[in-house]
Structure 1
Amino acid sequence: MTTPDTALPEHALRPAYRDGNVLRWLAAYTLSLVGDSVYFVALSWSAQKAADAAAVGFVMAAGALPRALLMLGGGVVADRLNPRRVILGSDTLRCLLILTVAAVIALTAPALWILVALALVFGAVDALFVPAIGALPPRITSPDQLARVTGLRSLSMRLSLIAGPPIGGLAMTIGGTSATFATAGLLFAASLPLLLTVRIPHPESRSPQTPKHASPRQDLVDGLHYIRRHPFIGPLLAASATCELGLTGIFNVGIVLLNAERGWGPTGYGWIVSSFGAGAAASAALLAIAGWLPRAGLILTAALMVGCAGAATIALADTIALAAVLAAVIGLSAGTFGSLNNALVQSASDPAYLGRVTSVIMLITVGIAPLSYPIVGTAIAAFGTAPVFAACSGFAALGAVVGLASHSVRQAQLPRSRTGDPLRQQGALPREP
C-alpha cells in the first residue's frame, strides 16, 4: 500500500514537468509564495494606515530580523526532522497565525503592536519553512531532473511576484486589511492539501560523521564545517554571496536612483523592472525545458560575468529602450547563474546536510545581501550612479573569479545519466571531504 511518505520508483522515469509528485509540490509552493506576496502587501499597507511611512520600514524590519537570525537554526531542524513534517507544521502555523490576525483586525483597528508581533512571529516561523521547502526537491525527484525542478521553481517565484501584489491590492480594495490578511491565510491553507499528497522517501537524515545524539549546536557547527570543507559547495556559495552583495543593492536601490537621475518616471522604472523579470523568467523556462546544459560550472561563471558587465553598462544608458534591453540581459544572466548554482549545489549536497546548506543560501539572500542597500544609496548620493554601478559590478565579478579558481566548479556537470550513480558518472559531485 502506498503512503504519502513512500517514494515511488517510477517517478525517476518521468521528466519533472510530467511527474505528478513534483507538480503537486510546485503547485503548493506557488500558492505559498503568492500567499507571501499578499501577506507583505497587507502588512505594509496596514502599517502605513496604523502610523506613518516610517512605520512601514519598522514593521518590515521586525519581520526580517528573526528570519535572518533563526534561518541557520531552521536548517538544523529540517535536517534533524523529516522536512515534510517541518513544512506541514510551519505552513499550518503560518496559516493559523494570519487567519487569527485577520479575525482580530476585523473586530478592531490594525494597531501597530499587533502588526509588529505578527511580523516577528511570522518571520520566526518562516525561518523553519524556508530551509525545509528548499531541501525538498532532491528528495522528490531523481538527480537528473534537479535542473528542471530548479527551473520550474524559479518560474514559480516569478509568477508569485507577478500575481501576488495585484491579488493583494484587489483584496485590499474590496475588503480592506482584514480581507487581505484572510486571502493570504487562505492561500496558505490551499497549499496544505497538496503538501499532504507529496511523497518523499525516508533517507537517513543524520550524517555518519555526526554523533547520533549530537546537540542542535553541534549539528549547526557540523553543517558549517561541511560547507567550508566541501571543494564544490564552498566555492559556489562564496561566489553566490559575492554576487548577491555586489548586485542586489544596485538592482533594488540603484535602479530606482538611476531612474530618478535620468528623469524617466514610473513608466521607465516599470519597463526596466519588467524587462529584468522577463529575462530571469526566460532563463528559468530554458532550464525547465532543456533539463541539462553542458559544462554547467563554466556556463554559470560566464553568465555571472555577462550579468556584471550589463549591470555596469546600464548606468551609462541614456534611453529607456537601451536600459530595458540591458535589464533583460542582466535578468537572463542572473537567472542562469542562480538556477545553475542552486541545481549544482543541491546535486552535490549530502542529503543529511540539505537543510543546513539551504539555510546558508537563504541567509545570504535575506540576511546579508540587504546590508548593501544603505551603502549603495549613500555611495550614489556622493559619487553618482555610474561609478557605483561599476564598482558594485566589479565586486560581484569576483564571484566568477572564485568559481573559475575552483577546479571542481570548472569541471562541474549537471547529472544526466539514469543508471548507477549519475552524479559520480557525470562528475557533478567531487569526492566527499
Structure 2
Amino acid sequence: MTGIIAPARTIERPAHRDGNVLRWLGAYTASMIGDSVYFMALAWAATRTGSAAQTGLVLALGSLPRAVLMLGGGVLADRFGPRRLVIGSDAARSLVVLGLAGALLFTSPALWMLIVVALVFGAVDALFLPAVGALPPRISVPGQLARIQGLRGLAARAANVVGAPLGGAAIALGGPRLGFAAAGVLFALSLPLLIAVRIRPLQEESGPEPEDAASRPPATVWQELADGLRHIRRNRLLGALLLVVAISELGFVGPLNLGLILLAEQRGWGASGMGWIVAGFGTGAGAAALLLAVRGRVPRAGLVGCLMVVIASVAIGALAFAPSVAMATATGVLVGLFAGLAGSLCAALIQTAAEPAYLGRVTSVSTFFTNAVSPLSYPVTGAAVAAWGTGPVFVASAALCAAGGVTGLAVTVLRRAELPD
C-alpha cells in the first residue's frame, strides 16, 4: 500500500537568528552609520566654508530633492525591486561621497561643491529610503516583521551612538575629506552584504500574468503613483495607519528636535542637559526595539500601537514641566519607549497590510510623512515657542500627537488589527 508523505513543516527561524536577516541588518547598520558621518562632515565643511546662513542653506537644499522625489522612489522600488534599488543607491552614495573626498585632496571645499553633493545625495536618498523600508517582507516570513522592525530600531540607535563619535574622530584627524572618505567606505561596506541577501518571492509576484498584459502600454511613473495612492485609499487599515503616522509625527518631531534645544536653553540646562534628555530618549527607544526584537509578536498590535501613541503624547507634554534635568531625562526615557513601540508596530502593520506589489509606494508615502513633511513643523515650533513659551507649545504638540492615536482607536479595523503568527 502506497502512502502519501506529507511535506515536513518548515520551522520558522526567529529574525535575530536568521543569517539572511542579519546580513540585511549589517548592511543597514553600516549605511546608517555612514549617513551620520556624512552629515557631520557636510555640516562641518559648510561651516568652515561659509556663514551660518550658508551652512543652513546647504543642509536645507540636501533635504529638498528627498522631499520632492520620495514618492517617485517608491514607484521605482515597486517597478525594479527594492533590493536592486538599495544596492544601486548605496553604490551611488559611496561613489559621490568618495568622489568629494578625492576632490578635497587637491582643493579646499567650495560652497558650490557642497551644494551639488548635497543635492545629488538627497536625490539618491529619495530612492534608498523607500526601497530599504520595503525590503523586510522580502527577506523573512510575515510572522517575523515585528522582530525585524525591532532589529532595525536597534540598528538605528547603534548608528546614532557610533556615527557621531566616528565622524568627529575622522574630522579631527583629517578634516572633512577624511570624514567624507569614512562615510563612503561605510556605504561601500554595505554592498557585499546586500548582494548576499536572498529575496523571498512574494505571493502576488509568483502567479501568472494576465493574458492581455503584453498588449498594455507601459504605465508612467505618475500612473503607477496614482495607482499606489488608490490602493491606500481602498484599504481601510492601510489608510488609517498612514493617517496615524502623519498626524502623530507632526506633533512629535517639533518638540523632540527643535523644542528640546529651546527648552534646555530656557531652563539653563545647557548642551549637557539636552544631551542627557536625548540620551534618555535613545535609551527608551532602544529598549522598545530590543523588546520587539526578542518577543517578536505583540497581541492586538493595532490597539497597542495606538495606545502607545496616546501615552507617548502625555510624556511629551510633561517634558516641558519637568523641574530638573533628571526628571526630564526620565520622561525622555518614557517618550522613547512608548513612541518606539508605537512606531515599530505601525511599521510592521503597514508592511503586512500593503499588497506586495505596492510595498515600495506605500513605504514611500509613510517615509514622506516622517522624513519630508514632519520637519516642516520646525519653523512653526520655533515661532510658537518665541511667542508663547515652551509649555503651551509642548502641550499643543502633545495634543496633536495624541489626536493621531485617538484617530487610530476610532477605526475598528485598526483597533482589531493583528500581526501574522
Query: What is the TM-score normalised by the length of structure 2?
Result: 0.94
Residue in 2 that maps onto 1:59:
58
- What is aligned with 2:166? 167
Tell whether 2:296 aligns with 1:291. yes
Secondary structure of 2:236's counterpart equals coil
Q: Secondary structure at the match of 1:318?
A: coil
Corresponding residue for 1:188?
187
Taking the aligned partners of 1:56 and 1:188, their CA distance within structure 2 comes to 24
Instruction: Tell me how far 1:11 sits from its aligned partner.
Output: 8.3
> Aligned letter for 1:90?
S
Distance 1:22 1:76, change over 3 A: same
Query: Counterpart amino acid of 1:392?
Result: S
Gaps of 5+ in 2: 1-7
Do 1:21 and 1:198's aligned partners in 2 also have CA atoms closer than 8 Å? Answer: yes
Contact 2:15 2:148 in 1 (8 A): yes
The percent identity for this pair of structures is: 52
Corresponding position: 1:332 with 2:326: no
Q: CA deviation at 1:354?
A: 0.5
* Residue in structure 2 matched with residue 234 of structure 1 by the alignment: 239
Residue equivalent to 2:281: 276
Amino acid corresponding to residue 291 of structure 2 in structure 1: L
The structure 1 segments of at least 4 consecutive aligned residues displaced by more than 2 Å after TM superposition are: 9-13, 201-213
Are the counterparts in 2 of residues 206 and 352 from structure 1 also a CA contact under 8 Å?
no
Alignment-derived partner of residue 383 in structure 2: 378
Over 3 Å counting, the alpha-carbon distance change for 1:253 and 1:271 in structure 2 is same
Cα distance, 1:224–1:12 mapped onto 2, change above 3 Å: farther
Q: Is 1:401 aligned with 2:406?
A: yes
Is contact 2:147–2:294 with CA below 8 Å preserved after alignment? Answer: yes
In the alignment, which residue of structure 2 is the partner of 1:143?
142
Deviation at 1:213, TM superposition (A): 2.4
Cα deviation for residue 205 of structure 1 reads 5.4
* Alignment match, 1:177: 176
C-alpha separation in 1, matches of 2:281 and 2:412: 31
The reply to whether residue 72 of structure 1 matches residue 71 of structure 2 is yes
Measured on the aligned residues, the alpha-carbon RMSD in Å equals 1.7
Distance 1:343 1:50 in 2: 43
Structure 2 vs 1, CA of residues 381 and 294 (structure 1 numbering), >3 Å: closer, same or farther?
same
Give unmatched runs, 5+ long, in structure 1: 1-8, 417-433
Say which is worse superposed, 202-211 or 85-94, in terms of deviation. 202-211
Q: Show the counterpart of 1:15.
A: 14
Alpha-carbon distance in structure 2 between the residues aligned to 1:265 and 1:216: 48
Q: Cα distance, 1:412 vs. partner?
A: 0.8
- Tell me which amino acid in the other structure corresponds to 1:219: E
CA distance in 2, matches of 1:24, 1:110: 35
Is the 2:310–2:406 contact (alpha carbons within 8 Å) kept by the matching residues of 1? no
Tell me the matched-pair count. Answer: 408
Name the aligned partner's letter for residue 261 of structure 2.
V
> How far is 1:266 from its partner?
1.8
The whole-number CA distance in structure 2 between the counterparts of 1:290 and 1:160 is 22
Question: 2:419 matched to 1:414?
Answer: yes
Partner residue in 1 for 2:42:
43
Pair 1:11–1:153, CA change in 2 (3 A): farther
Residue of structure 2 in register with 1:198 after alignment: 197
Q: Which residue of 2 aligns with 1:95?
A: 94
* Mean Cα deviation higher: 173-182 or 65-74: 173-182
What residue is the counterpart of 2:5 in the other structure?
none
Partner of 2:265: 260
Do 1:73 and 1:220's aligned partners in 2 also have CA atoms closer than 8 Å?
A: yes
**Pair 273,138 (structure 1): closer, same or farther in 2 beyond 3 Å:** same
Q: 1:49 to 1:360 in 2, by over 3 A?
A: same
CA distance, structure 1, for counterparts of residue 11 and residue 416 of structure 2: 25
Q: Which residue of 2 aligns with 1:215?
A: 220
Cα deviation for residue 206 of structure 1 reads 11
